Chains A and B, each alone.
Chain A
């Protein structure tokens, strides 16, 4: 009997993490005594223990919409706020929690008498999406315990932002510092709180990545090609892509590359990025200016000739916009493909211009196909025939949406790397095998 149970108990222990094996066994045996079928019994045990033994997470593991987990960290900032919730005035505490893997903002909906510097463990916490990054939430139904102070690095160490490579900046950084070169820069007039102001937007890059940036303060002497060192810039997230925000709390200094060596030049940064394996691209929620090469393994519905609302540019059906009601329509063409290189699969969006290049037919020719075939699907079907299975190279930005990671293509091409070189390189690696077998 015992031996028969062992594999099931092992499976349950594995699924539940570090749970007490004896308790699982006892529970399972009781259920089996009642002649509950094994699968059903396992299910019940799993449900029962899942609520007592919560999965333990670190800040780097957080994503929006998680429920019932345990997390520990040190409070590096906390403030009391009064909010008006459905007519009830209540006090909440918001701040930042940090561990070795990063920092994350939190809201405590209940007074746990926490203060800055406390090392705490929160049981039954949840997350929600706030400013496009996960925010930790805990309230009356959570348990908050003070844990030994030496469980986490000192406050000072956790709040210090050591310079990072752009590629390493993620949602776990509330603020960041780095050395990077400005590769694009333009001024933009915006209206904020009824006041006209000029902000600077652009792109910075180093030897690892490029990222968009916004400066809310004037940057004197900074132009395209300048290398800047910034400290304490805030990191905002949009669809998984970090952007650098320079504000009055950020210090910006200009680095002179002739005095201080930097591992990049304007040419090295502005070069077309080499294609990355898609599996690697998927590791990040969002990447700025990357390239990939793979096979079009599927053309998704929604590709072809589409109608857009002239006001908001939304895709509309039957001349009715979701936001603007019955309206005129603007004709457009797009292709949505799944690009797969054997290491990962990413959805790629092609606008009209890129669709025409990839499809090899202009929008007008496509309209002609619809007219001749008298079917809206004719173009979609024709695209499938023309493109499924083919190779495609794309360059653009990726972002994570509810449908997974999407790359919006800025340019496309048909890959033409030299087969001869690749084949002879591979054969070079494989030849020794042949000798062993033949000899």
Chain B
């Protein structure tokens, strides 16, 4: 039985720095009865086939000529993932064709590389599953990804200071308890990219900046915001007797129930941009039913 490929977590910087694609080898094809995936090896030693990312969609274009081919940029704090969905990813293509920009999305997909003649390598994601998510999931993804990336950086750092290479390094890492895939990835990455402490340091800086970008103000950050939105939405439904809700009245009622004017404003703005409510006339809000 072939195990399901893990959906690895990594930031756009590490993904886009990757240029080393390995195709299935004879030996693997024989072992797995002809089903051996291609892998992308990242400079920090991750060997990925499938990945899971959460970010903001900032651009969506249909670049296809005869058939639809949707290209989207999904941005995380360190850079952007490029996503292509064509005729063989019908669900993702339909999803992208109706998606509003900007919005938070989650993407499960396979790492693809395109290598034109001149030696350059372009990496992208071929989506399998896409969905709209909220800001709290984006934040948590950043934290998860930073944790997992830092673990990998530390193992890589240890590998560098061991001074070993090839199968000796593989043995050393396995002995230290590194998962098989990681031990193999690090050996491959070291050989191909000659990754050094400098690169790991850059990556750490990117992690730190990414974590700092998370807005944790308020008593729990975005989770509270989501609650506020829920609350305001409920309030609008409650106050609407048919012609919508006056913005001023909404603030008044929300304040009387213990919510600050600022919070109401933030929630309303977010609800408007998510398309959960609209302004039929200036100063009047209506819930999208």
Contacts and interface: CB of A to CB of B under 8 A. Distances in A.
Interface in B128-152: 128-133, 137, 139-141, 143-148, 150
A342 B7 contact: yes
Interface stretch (A75-83, A223-231, A326-334, A416-424): A416-424
Interface of A: prevailing SS:
helix
A298 B150 CA distance: 26
Nearest to A381: B91
B211 A426 contact: yes
A388 B129 contact: yes
Nearest to A343: B6
Interface size class of B (residues with CB under 8 A): 35 or more
Q: A-B pairs with the 8 shortest C-beta distances?
A: A389-B106, A15-B27, A388-B131, A342-B9, A430-B208, A433-B204, A389-B131, A297-B108
Contacts of B3: 282, 404
A342 B148 contact: yes
A434 B208 contact: yes
A388 B106 contact: yes
Interface in A389-418: 389-391, 402-404, 416
Contacts of B205: 433-434, 437
Given A345-B4, A404-B1, A423 B216 contact: yes
Contacts of A163: none
Interface of B: 1, 3-9, 25-27, 30-31, 52, 54, 105-106, 108, 128-133, 137, 139-141, 143-148, 150, 179, 201, 204-205, 207-208, 211-212, 214, 216, 220-221, 223
B52 A295 contact: yes
A43 interface: yes
A15 B26 contact: yes
B162 to A, nearest CB: 21
B106 A295 contact: yes
Contacts of A295: 7, 52, 106, 141
Contacts of A46: 26, 30
Given A342-B8, A404-B4, A419 B139 contact: yes
B6 A279 contact: yes
Interface in A296-323: 297-298
Contacts of B143: 419, 422-423, 426
A402 B3 CA distance: 11
A385 interface: yes
16 contacts: A11-B27, A42-B26, A46-B30, A297-B108, A338-B4, A340-B52, A342-B6, A345-B7, A388-B129, A389-B129, A423-B214, A423-B216, A426-B143, A426-B147, A427-B208, A430-B150
A98 B70 CA distance: 59
Contacts of B223: 416
A433 B202 CA distance: 9
A436 B208 CA distance: 13
Contacts of A374: none
A11 B150 contact: no
Contacts of B31: 15
Contacts of A43: 26
Given A433-B201, A433-B204, 17 more contacts: A11-B26, A15-B26, A39-B26, A297-B7, A342-B7, A342-B9, A384-B129, A388-B106, A388-B129, A390-B133, A402-B1, A403-B1, A404-B1, A422-B147, A423-B211, A427-B212, A430-B150
A194 interface: no
Interface of A: 11, 14-15, 39, 42-43, 46, 279, 282, 295, 297-298, 338, 340-345, 384-385, 388-391, 402-404, 416, 419-420, 422-423, 426-427, 429-431, 433-434, 436-437
A385 B131 contact: yes
B129 to A, nearest CB: 5
Nearest to A46: B30
A46 B147 CA distance: 42
A265 B137 CA distance: 37
Contacts of B27: 11, 14-15
Nearest to A282: B3
Contacts of A345: 4-7
B128 to A, nearest CB: 7
Contacts of A434: 205, 208
B6 A419 contact: no
Nearest to B28: A15
Contact of B146 (A384, A390, A426): A426
Contacts of B54: 389
A11 B27 CA distance: 7
Contacts of A422: 143, 147
A342 B25 contact: no
A298 B129 contact: yes
Contacts of B211: 423, 426-427, 430
A159 B76 CA distance: 57
B131 A384 contact: yes
A342 B52 contact: yes
A209 to B, nearest CB: 19
Contacts of A404: 1, 3-4
A390 B129 CA distance: 12
